[in-house]
Amino acid sequence: MIIYLDDLIFSLQTVGGISVYWLEFLNKINTTNLDAILLKRGDNKCLLAKNLNWNKKTKWEFVLPIQLTRVLPLLNILPAKSIYHSSYFRISLQANVCNIVTLHDLAGELGMIKGWRKKLKVMLQSVALQKADGIICVSETTRSSLLLHYPSIKANKTTVIYHGCSDKFFPIPHEKPNLNKQIVFIGGRKDYKNFNTCLEVMVALPDFSLLIIGGGKLSIEETVKINSKIANRYTYTSNVDTDVLNQIYNQAYCLLYPTYYEGFGMPVVEAMKAGCVVISCATKAIVEVAADAAILIKHPNDIKGFVDAILSLKNLETRKKLVNKGLEQAKKYNWDTHCSHTIDFYKNMYEQKFSPATLTH
Average pLDDT, the chain: 94
Do 140 and 33 reside in the same domain of the chain?
Answer: yes
Average pLDDT (128-149) is: 97
Which alpha helices (DSSP H) does 132-182 contain, by range?
140-149
Residue 193 belongs to domain with CATH number: 3.40.50.2000
pLDDT of residue 166 exceeding 90: yes
Query: Is residue 176 in a domain?
Result: no
Do 237 and 353 reside in the same domain of the chain?
Answer: no
pLDDT of residue 92 exceeding 60: yes
Query: Is residue 89 in a domain?
Result: yes
pLDDT of residue 106 exceeding 50: yes
Do 256 and 203 reside in the same domain of the chain?
Answer: yes
Do 343 and 325 reside in the same domain of the chain?
Answer: no
Contact 87, 7 (CB under 8 A): yes
pLDDT at position 179 is 64
Do 142 and 222 reside in the same domain of the chain?
Answer: no
- What is the number of other CB atoms lying within 10 angstroms of the CB of residue 6? 25
pLDDT at position 357 is 59
pLDDT of residue 248 exceeding 60: yes
Do 121 and 259 reside in the same domain of the chain?
Answer: no
Query: Is residue 173 in a domain?
Result: no
Query: Is residue 313 in a domain?
Result: yes
Do 347 and 306 reside in the same domain of the chain?
Answer: no
Average pLDDT (78-86) is: 97
pLDDT at position 289 is 98
DSSP 53: -
Strand-pair partners of 279: 256, 295
Query: Is residue 169 in a domain?
Result: no
pLDDT at position 178 is 59
Buried b (16+ CB within 10 A) or exposed e, 335-347: beebbeebbebbe
Do 340 and 319 reside in the same domain of the chain?
Answer: no
pLDDT at position 174 is 75
pLDDT at position 292 is 96
Number of folded domains in the chain?
2
Do 134 and 217 reside in the same domain of the chain?
Answer: no
Do 197 and 309 reside in the same domain of the chain?
Answer: yes
- Looking at per-residue pLDDT, the higher value among 30 and 188 belongs to 30
Query: Is residue 282 in a domain?
Result: yes
pLDDT of residue 109 exceeding 80: yes
Q: Which helix (H) or strand (E) holds 98?
A: strand 97-103
When pLDDT is cut at 50, 70 and 90, the band that residue 275 belongs to is: very high
Express as a percent the part of the chain with pLDDT over 70.
97
Query: Is residue 175 in a domain?
Result: no
Question: What is the span of the domain harbouring residue 149?
Answer: 2-164+334-359
Average pLDDT (236-252) is: 92
Query: Is residue 171 in a domain?
Result: no
Do 43 and 142 reside in the same domain of the chain?
Answer: yes
Q: What number of CA atoms fall less than 13 Å from residue 322's CA on the CB side?
A: 24
Do 79 and 190 reside in the same domain of the chain?
Answer: no
pLDDT at position 355 is 84
Look up the pTM and report it.
0.93
